[in-house]
């Protein structure tokens, strides 16, 4: 590995961490799309800043662009407050218009601006190590590394200082307000941090990847845990993992680094989405299937309890009567047998004592809908756990 | 292919060289004679109409940002279609975009319905992940030893200048199809929009209607990619509809208005960008549509901010003289002669009294002024005694 490669991976990882922290809160506060809006609408800020400073890495440019980000948020909230359109429409209107203004500003000054819309949207991490910070002749490393490093340190500092406030205002804005933390300050603080992170990261990784790095790790982590601290840690780990593995994918395919980091994030999300222990699709489908069987079992037991005639309890008749397919009936019968709920007597099914008990308890529960009735049944059955 | 290259050159000429830049009046005369301008204008107008039409449904269904997500999600489809066929035929690429946009849409729904992630997270997730994957593929394609790949990136920001007649025919056909389906299923779309549960109880197949309308929204977005590009497509979908919403409460009128607004944004946007140097069409169309929205927000008679503010101020003024009149009434009530004069001094500011309100009352002939004394007239007494009763009547 050359030093440029190490630097690229370092920048990518720092960006991933710096994005994952505000991203987690954005996802929890249901404001994920705001990050998309900010990432597009900072363009006019960047262009104006660039006209003034002629330097893509100047702090003034970052401040101006972050300011445009805040203006976006304020505009969206203002439009929403007028009640003329819903919040999502307001977001969808504001950022393309601001973005268009940026594109037109670049186009009108195309001759004297070395700024490309593609570069802003997509970024090129591979070039990051070439733009170096040199102070009095000493090479201190790539400029983007310093920028994103300082943003990360500020973000971390704010996170540790205001963790409690952030947590409370995220989950219970009313409580936060009554405890004396101003939700507005925390809201705009978070928006400012998101804007600055977006701006700081865009020229290394591009505006779209910033969105991916904010939302995807947090969303993936949210499928695995319900605890804020753990979610933050998972999100950071996923971000860093994708950043580094994405770099090597890009190296191997000779393609855009930003694109491959996003692709890694996508694969990671897909894997968790499918296989997460309790919230993944497969787990959810399995649980739903299980619940269907259990409901069937209950129906079956109730049927047995209601009918004393032998004709009604013959195995073949059950097939027709409850209108189940062969396989389903067999599953239900097996489950009932395994739990000692029923017994066979020459193809006549009858309830055991335990089955009788269970059924009457279940009826009690269905009638009264009181949880106390089924407390001890929960161990046997999935059905009552949810 | 050749036509496209030629048309592109013409636009380049008109755009780049100041001598050839045309002004707006010239543009409108050229629209009917110049092949390129006619094609582009027709294309953007049709596109604006169809996106406005379907955008109305997106806005009312609170799926505004779906457009943004779909347009980004279409990118990998374009790249994959190119990788498979190796051709740059725009219809094949758009088919790829359609498939990948639909996959994105249904994945978003899967995430929302099967997990506890909220819709904004699902949208942002699919948007950025698909787009990133698309970028990976595009950069991968660029490194391939195949000279034919240039120009795929026009789908990022759109180039109306590359529209040719066949593209416009394609748009017109899709718009016709949309219109047909819209009219055919009008009742179903409408009822699903406003009361989904009721629709289900009536026995309509809500899933089918839902998928139908979503598919058409995806189709409209995919159509626009070539013209305005991935990033700005969501505004094309939303802006005409959001503007139209301000003028009416009826779905039919709204869809119609949105189509008109969309078409005009397309035409004006093309005109402005053709008459200036270095202006790409997509952003200009979006800004024109944005102006439509702004004007609608401010000047719409029933919902607009301007008239709302005027009503607000008028109500406040009315309230002031109401209060003064009520105060006078309370005083006059205690006298046998209701027109018994009283000093102006006893009126106070707290009761909404100002010289202005007093003048207003005099003008309305509710009060007589005589030097520093005022007295209620017969009419004023009548009005004042019914002041609050009438108001509550009005409110009911």
DSSP string, A19-43: HHHHHHHHHHTT-HHHHHHHHHHHH
Going by C-alpha positions, the residue among B118, B105, B133, B120 that lies closest to residue A35 is B120
Residue with tokens 């009008």: B186
Pairing outcome for strands B342-343 and A342-345: unpaired
With 80 as the cut, is the pLDDT of residue A273 above it?
A: yes
Kindly write down the DSSP assignment for every residue of A290-307, as one continuous string: HHHHHHHHHHHHHHHHH-
**Average confidence (pLDDT) over B83-111:** 87
pLDDT more than 70, % of chain B: 86
Query: Alpha-carbon distance A6 to B338, whole Å?
Result: 94
Residue with tokens 């004023």: B380
Residues 87-106 of A with CB under 8 A from B: 88-89, 91-93, 96-97, 99-101, 103-104
Query: Alpha-carbon distance B86 to B80, whole Å?
Result: 9
Cross-chain Cβ contact A89/B242 below 8 Å: yes
Pairing outcome for strands B367-370 and B342-343: unpaired
Helices (H), chain B: 2-16, 24-31, 35-60, 64-73, 75-85, 90-114, 119-142, 154-157, 165-184, 186-194, 196-201, 206-245, 251-274, 281-299, 305-333, 355-363, 378-395
- Reported as a pLDDT band with limits 50, 70 and 90, residue A339 is confident
Q: Dihedral through CA A365, CA A366, CA A367, CA A370, nearest 10? A: 40
Give the pLDDT score at A184.
Answer: 84
**Average confidence (pLDDT) over A298-303:** 78
Q: What is the DSSP letter of A197?
A: H
With 50 as the cut, is the pLDDT of residue B8 above it?
A: no
Q: In terms of pTM, does the model score above 0.90? A: no
pLDDT more than 70, % of chain A: 87
Calculate how close chain A gets to B218, using CA atoms only, in Å: 16
Give the pLDDT score at A33.
Answer: 87
Cross-chain Cβ contact A216/B235 below 8 Å: no
Instruction: Name the 3-class secondary structure at B368.
Output: strand
**How far is residue B277 from each of residues B34, B336, B365, measured CA to CA in Å?**
18, 81, 63
Highest mean pLDDT among A348-357, B11-20, B144-153, B292-301: B292-301
CA atoms within 13 A on the CB side of B351: 18
Task: Determine contact, residues A44/A98, Cβ cutoff 8 Å.
Answer: yes
CA atoms within 13 A on the CB side of B252: 4
**How far is residue B307 from each of residues A77, B82, B248, B313, measured CA to CA in Å?**
21, 52, 15, 10
With 60 as the cut, is the pLDDT of residue A241 above it?
A: yes
Query: Alpha-carbon distance B391 to B59, whole Å?
Result: 36
Range scoring the smallest mean pLDDT among A154-163, A282-291, B343-352 = B343-352
- Reported as a pLDDT band with limits 50, 70 and 90, residue B130 is very high
Task: Determine contact, residues B322/B352, Cβ cutoff 8 Å.
Answer: yes
The gap from C-alpha B365 to its chain's centroid, in whole angstroms, comes to 47
Give the pLDDT score at A159.
Answer: 93
Give the pLDDT score at A228.
Answer: 93
- Reported as a pLDDT band with limits 50, 70 and 90, residue B19 is very low
Angle at B32 between CA B27 and CA B34, to 5 degrees: 75
The gap from C-alpha A52 to its chain's centroid, in whole angstroms, comes to 37
More confident residue, A133 or A323: A133
CA atoms within 13 A on the CB side of A257: 24
Give the pLDDT score at B7.
Answer: 38
Give the pLDDT score at B22.
Answer: 60
Query: Alpha-carbon distance B338 to B385, whole Å?
Result: 12
Q: Which two tokens stand for residue B174?
A: 């899709």
Instruction: Name the 3-class secondary structure at A384.
Output: coil
Q: Which of A33, A100, A261 sits opposite B124 (nearest CB)?
A: A33
Average pLDDT, chain A: 82
Cross-chain Cβ contact A103/B157 below 8 Å: yes
Task: Determine contact, residues A295/A383, Cβ cutoff 8 Å.
Answer: yes
Instruction: Give helix A59-82 / helix A87-108 axis angle, nearest 10°.
Output: 140
Helix (H) / strand (E) containing B373: strand B373-376
The gap from C-alpha A80 to its chain's centroid, in whole angstroms, comes to 24
With 80 as the cut, is the pLDDT of residue B105 above it?
A: yes
Torsions phi, psi of A256, nearest 5? -65, 135
| CB within 8 Å of A286: residues ≥ 6 apart | none
Instruction: Name the 3-class secondary structure at A142.
Output: strand
Per-residue pLDDT reduced to its tens digit, B156-176: 777 777 788 888 888 899 899
- Reported as a pLDDT band with limits 50, 70 and 90, residue B17 is very low
Cross-chain Cβ contact A269/B121 below 8 Å: no
Calculate how close chain B gets to A35, using CA atoms only, in Å: 8
Highest mean pLDDT among A134-148, A267-281, A287-301, B268-282: A267-281
Predicted interface score ipTM higher than 0.85: no
The side-by-side arrangement of strands in the sheet containing B342-343 is B342-343, B373-376, B367-370
Give the pLDDT score at A264.
Answer: 93
**Average confidence (pLDDT) over B363-392:** 75
Using a CB–CB cutoff of 8 Å, tell me whether A202 touches chain B: no
Residue with tokens 């069937």: A296
Residues 235-294 of A with CB under 8 A from B: 250, 253-256, 258-263, 265-266, 269, 273, 279, 281, 284
């Amino acid at each position: 590995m050359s030093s440029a490669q190490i630097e690229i991976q370092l920048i990518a990882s720092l960006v991933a961490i710096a994005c994952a922290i505000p991203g987690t809160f954005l996802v929890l506060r249901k404001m994920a799309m705001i990050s998309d809006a900010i990432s597009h609408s900072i363009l006019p800020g960047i262009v104006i800043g660039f006209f003034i400073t002629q330097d893509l890495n100047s702090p003034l440019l970052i401040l101006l662009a972050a300011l445009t980000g805040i203006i976006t948020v304020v505009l969206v909230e203002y439009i929403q407050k007028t009640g003329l359109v819903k919040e999502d429409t307001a977001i969808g209107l504001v950022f393309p218009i601001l973005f268009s203004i940026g594109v037109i500003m670049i186009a009108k000054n195309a001759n004297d601006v070395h700024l490309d819309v593609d570069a802003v949207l997509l970024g090129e991490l591979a070039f990051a190590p070439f733009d170096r910070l040199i102070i009095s002749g000493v090479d201190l490393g790539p400029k983007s590394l310093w920028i994103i490093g300082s943003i990360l340190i500020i973000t971390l500092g704010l996170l540790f200082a205001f963790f409690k406030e952030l947590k409370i205002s995220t989950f219970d804005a009313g409580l936060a307000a009554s405890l004396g933390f101003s939700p507005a300050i925390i809201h705009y603080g978070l928006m400012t941090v998101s804007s600055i992170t977006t701006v700081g990261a865009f020229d290394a990784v591009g505006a779209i990847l910033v969105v991916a790095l904010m939302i995807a790790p947090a969303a993936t982590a949210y499928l695995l845990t319900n605890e804020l601290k753990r979610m933050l840690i998972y999100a950071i780990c996923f971000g860093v993992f994708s950043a580094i593995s994405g770099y090597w994918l890009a190296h191997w395919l000779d393609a855009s680094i930003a694109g491959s980091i996003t692709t890694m994030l996508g694969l990671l999300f897909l894997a968790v989405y499918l296989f997460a222990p309790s919230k993944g699709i497969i787990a959810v489908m399995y649980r739903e299937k299980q619940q269907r069987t259990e409901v069937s079992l209950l129906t079956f037991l109730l049927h047995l309890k209601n009918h004393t005639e032998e004709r009604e309890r013959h195995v073949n008749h059950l097939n027709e009567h409850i209108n189940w397919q062969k396989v389903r009936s067999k599953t239900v019968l097996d489950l009932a047998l395994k739990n000692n709920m029923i017994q066979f007597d020459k193809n006549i099914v009858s309830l055991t004592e335990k089955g009788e008990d269970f059924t009457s308890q279940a009826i009690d529960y269905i009638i009264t809908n009181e949880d106390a009735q089924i407390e001890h049944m929960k161990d046997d059955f999935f059905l009552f756990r949810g | 292919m050749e036509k496209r290259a030629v048309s592109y050159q013409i636009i380049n000429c008109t755009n780049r060289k100041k001598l050839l830049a045309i002004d707006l009046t010239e543009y409108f005369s050229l629209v009917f004679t110049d092949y390129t301008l006619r094609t582009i204008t027709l294309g953007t107008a049709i596109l604006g109409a169809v996106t406005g039409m379907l955008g109305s449904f997106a806005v009312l269904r609170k799926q505004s940002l779906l457009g943004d997500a779909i347009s980004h999600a279409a990118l990998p489809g374009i790249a994959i279609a190119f990788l498979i066929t190796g051709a740059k035929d725009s219809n094949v690429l758009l088919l790829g975009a359609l498939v990948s946009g639909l996959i994105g849409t249904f994945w978003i729904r899967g995430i929302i319905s099967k997990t506890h992630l909220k819709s904004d997270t699902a949208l942002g997730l699919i948007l950025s992940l698909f787009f990133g994957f698309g970028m990976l593929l595009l950069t991968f394609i660029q490194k391939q030893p195949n000279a034919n790949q240039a120009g795929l990136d026009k789908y990022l920001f759109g180039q109306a200048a590359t529209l040719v007649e066949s593209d416009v025919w394609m748009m017109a056909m899709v718009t016709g199809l949309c219109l047909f389906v819209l009219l055919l299923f009008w009742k179903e779309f409408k009822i699903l929009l406003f009361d989904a549960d009721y629709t289900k109880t009536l026995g309509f197949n809500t899933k089918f209607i839902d998928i139908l309308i979503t598919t058409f929204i995806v189709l409209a977005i995919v159509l626009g990619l070539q013209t305005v590009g991935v990033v700005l497509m969501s505004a094309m979908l939303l802006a005409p509809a959001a503007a139209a919403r301000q003028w009416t409460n009826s779905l039919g009128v709204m869809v119609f208005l949105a189509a008109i607004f969309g078409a005009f944004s397309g035409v004006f946007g093309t005109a402005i960008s053709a008459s200036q140097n270095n202006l790409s069409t997509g952003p200009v169309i979006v800004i024109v549509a944005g102006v439509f929205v702004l004007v609608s927000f401010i000047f719409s008679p029933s919902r607009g901010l301007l008239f709302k503010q005027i009503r607000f101020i008028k109500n406040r003024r009315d309230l002031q003289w109401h209060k003064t009149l009520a105060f006078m009434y309370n005083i006059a009530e205690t006298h046998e002669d209701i027109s018994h004069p009283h000093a102006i001094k006893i009126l106070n500011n707290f009761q909404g009294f100002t010289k202005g309100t007093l003048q207003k009352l005099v003008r309305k002939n509710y009060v007589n002024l005589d030097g520093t004394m005022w007295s209620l007239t017969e009419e004023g007494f009548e009005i004042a005694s019914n002041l609050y009763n009438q108001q509550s009547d009005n409110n009911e």
